[in-house]
Structure 1
Amino acid sequence: MPQEARVKRAIERETAWTTNVPFIKDVLLLWEPCDEPSVDPDDVLLINCVTQQKWKGPAIKQIEGKGKGVIATMTFKKNQIVCDYHGEIISKQEGEQRLETLNEEPSYLFFFKGKAGEPLCIDAQKHPCDCHPDQDTYGRRMNHSRRNCNLRPQRVSLNLQDGARECVVLLTLRDIGVNEELLWDYGIRRSSFGGEGSDLPWLDD
């Protein structure tokens, strides 16, 4: 069950609500855990997609007013994996150190907790990556949306030939049609990082 403070913050973010705003106690009373779709750690197709970065369905395209983005070239069903957020797996501490050196550059660092709860980070800053020097990976090219996201990240641990690897895949929140832009919530707001994003209105989209 989510903590009361987390529910309170989520409600406060919905600044467009003027009537029928839910009470925190009602949200907690009616809250039910969502079933996480299970991912087979030995799924050969998924492992090949992650290691070779050959995903079927997403395509990079120029999006008017945004620059590059990713669209669907086929239909996706709810809870279907579209791609992974690909990059170098490092510790949270190393990720924070790298973040400090970026200055005004965009950040492609994704922080998450591993299978054992250890804080980790995926660094997709280097492009192209060392393991796929001739490919543009999809996860880092997807645009942000808080209100209209149709994907969400989920941590998985895959059993590769050289051992288990932590990774983050992007799953569909609903059915998605052809030519629909693929969007996910980066989890940052204008107030994040001491308000450094206060002049970035796209974080509210």
Structure 2
Amino acid sequence: RSVKASPVKSHAITECYPIRRSSRKTKSLIKKELADEIINAVQSKYEGDLEIVEFKDKGRGVVAKRSFTRGEYVVEYAGDLISWHEAKSRESEYALDTSVGCYMYYFNARNTNYCIDATAESDRLGRLLNHSRRTPNCLTRLVWVPTLDNPNKELPHLVIVAKRDIDQGEELTYDYGDRDKSAVEVHPWLKS
């Protein structure tokens, strides 16, 4: 004798259980949010979490008014964005006056050599972070930021981010990366 099977009606799982959405963020979403925060900070020129302090042995420097977590935006190294050739010309000019320091940051972006010249005194604090070759708590990152007048046009900016967690009241430092023998002879503190 044969038994006839009754047809099975299939149901979508959503008929029995509600749809659940994860509230966790993907790595790519976290990375995008961090990039957007940096762009907003650069465009707004925000530096409210920093304070200029006079250090006995090294002059002005910058300390954190709050704690920073590793990878977090700290400040922009702001100045004139100029070509490598213009930078070399200005550097020669600055060398003629020993009372003027030189705050030039050379970098390459999208196969073009640039320089941020932050030599002129300004209210921007990134130029005042001191050097530490051995124990820097910050590092520089290159970011492309849309211009406010034309969102389709991007310019390179150098931002300083926390290399590790930074405590409130801690001096902010990064490695200037200058290993040129003649520069180290003139500025022995580049070794430290």
Normalised-by-shorter TM-score class: 0.7 to 0.9
Instruction: Report the TM-score when normalising by structure 1.
Output: 0.70
Aligned residue among 102, 106, 110 for 1:111 = 106
Alignment partners' CA distance in 1, 2:104 and 2:57: 24
Alignment partners' CA distance in 2, 1:197 and 1:68: 20
Count of residues in Structure 1 that have an aligned counterpart in Structure 2: 157
C-alpha change, 1:92 and 1:199, in structure 2 (3 Å) is: closer
- Given that residues 150 and 184 in structure 1 are in contact (C-alpha distance below 8 angstroms), is that contact kept between their aligned partners in structure 2? yes
SS at match of 2:155: strand
Instruction: Report the TM-score when normalising by structure 2.
Output: 0.74
Offset at residue 83 of structure 1 (A) = 0.7
RMSD, matched Cα? 2.1
Q: Following superposition of structure 1 onto structure 2, how do residues 49-60 of structure 1 map, counting pairs within 5 Å?
A: 49-60=41-52
What whole-Å deviation, never above 9, does each CA across 1:116-167 have from its counterpart, x for those lacking one?
2211111111222xxxxxxx21110111110011111110001233231210
The structure with the larger Rg is 2
Q: Following superposition of structure 1 onto structure 2, how do residues 1-205 of structure 1 map, counting pairs within 5 Å?
A: 38=31, 43=36, 45-103=37-95, 104=98, 105-114=100-109, 116-128=110-122, 136-161=123-148, 162=150, 163-189=153-179, 191=181, 195-205=182-192
Offset at residue 48 of structure 1 (A) = 4.3
C-alpha change, 1:199 and 1:94, in structure 2 (3 Å) is: closer
What stretches of structure 1 of length at least 5 have no aligned partner? 1-36, 129-135
Offset at residue 176 of structure 1 (A) = 0.4
Alignment partners' CA distance in 2, 1:47 and 1:73: 21
- Given that residues 99 and 107 in structure 1 are in contact (C-alpha distance below 8 angstroms), is that contact kept between their aligned partners in structure 2? yes
Alignment partners' CA distance in 2, 1:89 and 1:190: 23
Alignment partners' CA distance in 1, 2:32 and 2:117: 23
Report the identity percentage: 31
Alignment partners' CA distance in 2, 1:58 and 1:99: 28
Alignment partners' CA distance in 2, 1:106 and 1:159: 30
Offset at residue 196 of structure 1 (A) = 4.1
- Given that residues 112 and 121 in structure 1 are in contact (C-alpha distance below 8 angstroms), is that contact kept between their aligned partners in structure 2? yes
Alignment partners' CA distance in 2, 1:190 and 1:121: 17
Offset at residue 198 of structure 1 (A) = 0.4
SS at match of 1:96: helix
SS at match of 1:61: strand
Letter in 1 for 2:156: E
Offset at residue 38 of structure 1 (A) = 4.7
Alignment partners' CA distance in 2, 1:40 and 1:113: 25
Alignment partners' CA distance in 2, 1:84 and 1:174: 17
- Given that residues 190 and 200 in structure 1 are in contact (C-alpha distance below 8 angstroms), is that contact kept between their aligned partners in structure 2? no
